[in-house]
Chain A
Amino acid sequence: MSTHLTTAFDEELRDLSSRLAEMGGIAERLVAESTDALVKRDTALAQKVIAADAAVDAIQHEIEEKAILTIARRQPMAVDLREIVSALRIANDLERVGDLAKNTAKRVLALDGEYHAQKQLRGVKHMADMVLQQLKEVLDAYGARDVNRAVAVWKSDGEIDSMYNSLFREFLTYMMEDPRHITMCTHLLFAAKNIERIGDHATNIAETIYYLVKGEMLLEERPKSDLTSTTKVSLATKQ
């Protein structure tokens, strides 16, 4: 894309994009560290994640202010307008990703002293790895303005949903087997939900990239397979 007649406009857009890349990097790190903290029961690392989320929030505010100022000043059209609107949307998604990582970190603190269920954690860890890969991939796709990679991320979110479904069932089973597991399982279930939600934000970002590059919304119905909202367990069959 050729440059604008007013070079300051180009600088403003570049600045937005690079702040967003920085924000993406921090969000990725928070997701990785919150999962590590959960798996290793590392309360110090969890505290670090909780503190670091403020940086993500601060960048989101900064991006928002810069975007609004650029709109007011330049009255951007077409691809420029999409660039700014996309930055706003992606910053919102990343801010939520930071919040979710922080929430997982808080649960690590709550689980301190509880039974450490290695086996159950393996599933959560595996799901978190998949989500982190999705997040990395979608942020790279944003950096490269690569629609195909974005759409690939968008399509593979179904796998994460399926993993979450099976974790959900697994945790319910543990809780029914031994009520002493309820506290731990509930926290792990929420942590898993946090991770699954991060995957959803990655797909939101993928949709935004599609809009940014193509100038139209991705209207296809995404393959959704999170069925936990409608899953019920019949106690009668478990006795």
Chain B
Amino acid sequence: MEMMVEPVKVTAGAAVIGPQQARPKIVADKVNVFYGDKHALKDVCVEIPERGVMAFIGPSGCGKSTFLRCINRMNDTIPSARVTGKILIDGLDIYDSSLDVVQLRARVGMVFQKPNPFPKSVYENVAYGPRIHGMARNKTEIDEIVVTSLQRAGLFNEVKDRLNDSGTSLSGGQQQRLCIARAIAVSPEIILMDEPCSALDPIATARIEELIDEIRTNYTIIIVTHSMQQAARVSQRTAFFHLGSLVEEGSTATIFTNPTDKRTLDYITGRFG
């Protein structure tokens, strides 16, 4: 099979398809992950629709973060990790040897549990990605990207007079929105969020959830969360993982009101032994 190394221009595709149609953006086919001898993820098959939020839930160690990290090949950074099976983004296998991982990670952004801004200014935190990816020709274009990204992340008004202050001087919630702005700045198609609110207070959490709801029409968002209420609030689809397997995937409304699998029911109702 001939590989396309260049990222697919999603805006062109979107114009043809229209924002309403949910075609699978990501297709996982029998994905297995091993950490040394440990079989961490077992035969995960799932289709993740374009433009919308999918939540991964499950008890600690169930494989949800492991699977999330497969989608931008973050597991590559762990020497003992081995991934088998296929993950297709827009039909292209991201584990193909000819694929440029740096390009992939520009398309698939990530936001982590703890806000991790670079120890640089607010401005530089956002400008860094577009600059190294050569997305702007001059200072004016970079400025524009920084402002739009901060605006989209709902942070611009709060930091517009502090763009040269250090990113780490912001509050926890602001730092996390800065990380989202940084992820958005390189125009990704997919944003992976690994428990993005677990270090935030309820108000900062509500702001992030509001932000997720606003940007979901433009991005495919996958969020790992330990808060079932959060999954119920922000996602349209939910996948439940247990002991390395994907137990059940479906519309969020169904998963939280009338799930099919007994293990899902036990978990969401707090009956897990």
Q: Do A and B bind each other?
A: yes
In the complex the two chains form, what is the Cα distance from A216 to B258 in whole Å?
A: 8
Q: Which residues of the partner chain A approach B232 to less than 8 Å between Cβ atoms?
A: 77
Q: Which residues of the partner chain B approach A81 to less than 8 Å between Cβ atoms?
A: 257
For B262, the closest partner residue in chain A by CB is: A2
For A5, the closest partner residue in chain B by CB is: B270
In the complex the two chains form, what is the Cα distance from A4 to B268 in whole Å?
A: 11
In the complex the two chains form, what is the Cα distance from A6 to B272 in whole Å?
A: 10
With beta carbons under 8 angstroms apart, the residue of A3, A75, A215, A216 that contacts B271 is A3
Q: Which residues of the partner chain B approach A4 to less than 8 Å between Cβ atoms?
A: 269-271
Contact with A along B234-273 (1 / 0, CB 8 A): 0000000000000000000000111100000110111111
For A216, the closest partner residue in chain B by CB is: B258
A132 → chain B, closest Cβ, in Å?
33
Q: Does B228 contact A (CB under 8 A)?
A: yes
B242 → chain A, closest Cβ, in Å?
15
User: Secondary structure at chain A's binding surface: helix, strand, loop or mixed?
Assistant: loop
A208 → chain B, closest Cβ, in Å?
15
Q: Does B157 contact A (CB under 8 A)?
A: no
Contact with B along A74-109 (1 / 0, CB 8 A): 111111111000000000000000000000000000
Q: Does A9 contact B (CB under 8 A)?
A: yes
The answer on a CB contact under 8 Å between A80 and B269 is yes
Q: Which residues of the partner chain A approach B265 to less than 8 Å between Cβ atoms?
A: 78-79
The answer on a CB contact under 8 Å between A78 and B271 is no
Number of interface residues of A (CB under 8 A): 18
The answer on a CB contact under 8 Å between B270 and A9 is yes
Q: Which residues of the partner chain A approach B270 to less than 8 Å between Cβ atoms?
A: 4-6, 9, 74, 77
Q: Does B77 contact A (CB under 8 A)?
A: no
Contact with A along B9-41 (1 / 0, CB 8 A): 000000000000000000000000000000000
Q: Which residues of the partner chain B approach A2 to less than 8 Å between Cβ atoms?
A: 266, 271, 273
In the complex the two chains form, what is the Cα distance from A80 to B257 in whole Å?
A: 9
The answer on a CB contact under 8 Å between B228 and A77 is yes
Q: Does B229 contact A (CB under 8 A)?
A: yes
Name A1-21 residues within 8 Å CB distance of B.
1-6, 9
The answer on a CB contact under 8 Å between A78 and B268 is yes
For B264, the closest partner residue in chain A by CB is: A78
For A3, the closest partner residue in chain B by CB is: B271
With beta carbons under 8 angstroms apart, the residue of B228, B269, B272 that contacts A79 is B269
For B272, the closest partner residue in chain A by CB is: A5
Q: Which residues of the partner chain B approach A74 to less than 8 Å between Cβ atoms?
A: 270
Q: Which residues of the partner chain A approach B266 to less than 8 Å between Cβ atoms?
A: 2
In the complex the two chains form, what is the Cα distance from A132 to B35 in whole Å?
A: 65
With beta carbons under 8 angstroms apart, the residue of B259, B269, B272, B273 that contacts A76 is B269
Q: Which residues of the partner chain A approach B268 to less than 8 Å between Cβ atoms?
A: 77-78
A101 → chain B, closest Cβ, in Å?
35
The answer on a CB contact under 8 Å between B258 and A215 is yes
For B266, the closest partner residue in chain A by CB is: A2
A183 → chain B, closest Cβ, in Å?
52
Q: Tell whether A75 pairs with B229 under 8 Å between CB atoms, given A4-B269, A5-B270, A5-B271.
A: yes
In the complex the two chains form, what is the Cα distance from A80 to B273 in whole Å?
A: 17
Name A167-217 residues within 8 Å CB distance of B.
215-216
Q: Which residues of the partner chain B approach A82 to less than 8 Å between Cβ atoms?
A: 257
In the complex the two chains form, what is the Cα distance from A216 to B273 in whole Å?
A: 27
Q: Which residues of the partner chain B approach A216 to less than 8 Å between Cβ atoms?
A: 258
A86 → chain B, closest Cβ, in Å?
13
Q: Which residues of the partner chain A approach B272 to less than 8 Å between Cβ atoms?
A: 5
B239 → chain A, closest Cβ, in Å?
16
For B232, the closest partner residue in chain A by CB is: A77
Contact with A along B111-134 (1 / 0, CB 8 A): 000000000000000000000000
In the complex the two chains form, what is the Cα distance from A79 to B267 in whole Å?
A: 12
In the complex the two chains form, what is the Cα distance from A82 to B258 in whole Å?
A: 9
In the complex the two chains form, what is the Cα distance from A4 to B257 in whole Å?
A: 17
In the complex the two chains form, what is the Cα distance from A80 to B258 in whole Å?
A: 10
A5 → chain B, closest Cβ, in Å?
5
B261 → chain A, closest Cβ, in Å?
11
In the complex the two chains form, what is the Cα distance from A160 to B228 in whole Å?
A: 46
In the complex the two chains form, what is the Cα distance from A212 to B232 in whole Å?
A: 20
CB-defined A-B contacts under 8 Å, sample of 8: A2-B271, A3-B271, A4-B269, A75-B229, A77-B228, A77-B232, A77-B269, A79-B265
**Can you add 17 more A-B contacts, CB < 8 Å, to A75-B228, A78-B259, A81-B257?**
A1-B271, A4-B269, A5-B270, A5-B272, A6-B270, A9-B270, A74-B270, A77-B232, A77-B257, A77-B268, A78-B257, A78-B258, A79-B265, A79-B269, A82-B257, A215-B258, A216-B258
Chain B residues within CB distance 8 Å of chain A: 228-229, 232, 256-259, 265-266, 268-273
